[in-house]
Amino acid sequence: MERVKLRARAKINLSIDIKDILEDGYHEVEMVMQSINLSDYIIIRKAETGFKMTSSNSDVPSNKKNIMYKTWILMKEEFGIDGGIEIFLEKNIPIAAGMAGGSADSAAVFIGINRLFGLNLSDDELIELSKKLGSDIAFCIKGGTYLASGKGTDLKKLNNFNWDIVMLICKPNIFVSTKRVYKKYDKMYESISTDQRPDNEKIIEGLQLEDYELMVEGMNNVLEPVTKSWYREIDKIEKTMIKGGAIKSMMSGSGPTVFGFFKDYKSAKRCGNILRKRYSQTYITHASNKGVEICGNK
């Protein structure tokens, strides 16, 4: 095999709660994560030597700062891989958006290199290796609906999100630093009220009973007040979605992307048309029970 093509799906957070600050400075989290069909596409080819990357989006770095490069180097050194690779990235997931776009691309490289070079590693082995690079990669390798705890890499499979709910995604032209958001959260965590925290047990029960109203009642993101304190656009987008018929609207990850749940496509499209006049990165999508998917090889 000389080439593999992969689909790397974005994620949204149905919840984020922070339980504690660990001794190493990381945060102990508990969050429900959901894959969606908004995806990047990656083609990886074998090369004689080195690493070369091109992207459809010029804002994506193609040098050593890129997590796809770091993933390749980790795999190459860990397993003594000879030769090099060339990567083409069709970038559709918004950048720095709280949707794990970089982590999804890294997960695709882990899975692609595993297949391309015949390493025969299990998903769990890839996940263990991915912890050296970031916390969301583990979920992106698995995909679907999971409760993530600890540093975000301890995953528990939940009932799949099977409802025919239409999701509207809107990313304002803002770039949010996750590190900065967590740092400010540490300063204001005492002011985060109980009603701003999620009820993950209610979300899990809603998934089990296939009762989306119960699930929605439990959804919340403790990082949202932090990011909203800097960017009023997030609140404006949420209110536009609710006014447009969304049954729930909230921020994903550390932001600034906002998503809304709609019962029908027409309402989502109508609201999306309104938002797209101001925010070009507005998309209609659905939940997915898959993460990274190999969609072609030869």
Over the stretch 265-293, which tens digit does the pLDDT of each residue have? 999 999 999 999 999 999 999 999 999 99
> Are 15 and 139 within one domain?
yes
> Are 20 and 69 within one domain?
yes
> Are 141 and 255 within one domain?
no
**pTM over the 0.85 mark:** yes
Residues marked as catalytic: 11, 136
Between the alpha carbon of residue 229 and those of residues 179, 180, 181, 185, the distances in Å are: 16, 12, 10, 11
What SS3 state is found at 265? helix
Number of structural domains, the chain? 2
> Are 32 and 175 within one domain?
no
Which has the closest alpha carbon to 127: 108, 107, 109?
Answer: 107
Between the alpha carbon of residue 194 and those of residues 15, 74, 197, the distances in Å are: 14, 41, 5
HSE-CB for 178 with a 13 A CA cutoff: 16
Ordered per-residue pLDDT tens for the chain, 298 residues: 799 999 999 999 999 999 887 777 778 999 999 999 999 999 999 999 999 999 999 989 888 889 999 999 999 999 999 999 999 999 999 999 999 999 999 999 999 999 999 999 999 999 999 999 999 999 999 999 999 999 999 999 999 998 899 999 999 999 888 889 988 888 876 666 667 899 999 999 999 999 999 999 999 999 999 999 999 999 999 999 999 999 999 999 999 999 999 999 999 999 999 999 999 999 999 999 999 999 977 6
Q: What is the CATH number of the domain that holds 267?
A: 3.30.70.890
Q: What's the domain range around 46? A: 3-158+289-297
Given this model, what pLDDT does residue 24 score? Answer: 75
> Are 176 and 77 within one domain?
no
Q: Report whether 210 contacts 163 (CB < 8 A).
A: yes
Given this model, what pLDDT does residue 162 score? Answer: 84
Give the whole-angstrom CA distance, residue 28 versus residue 51: 35
Q: What is the CATH number of the domain that holds 94?
A: 3.30.230.10
Give the whole-angstrom CA distance, residue 14 versus residue 26: 21
Given this model, what pLDDT does residue 232 score? Answer: 94
Given this model, what pLDDT does residue 298 score? Answer: 62
Give the whole-angstrom CA distance, residue 234 versus residue 237: 5
Given this model, what pLDDT does residue 27 score? Answer: 87
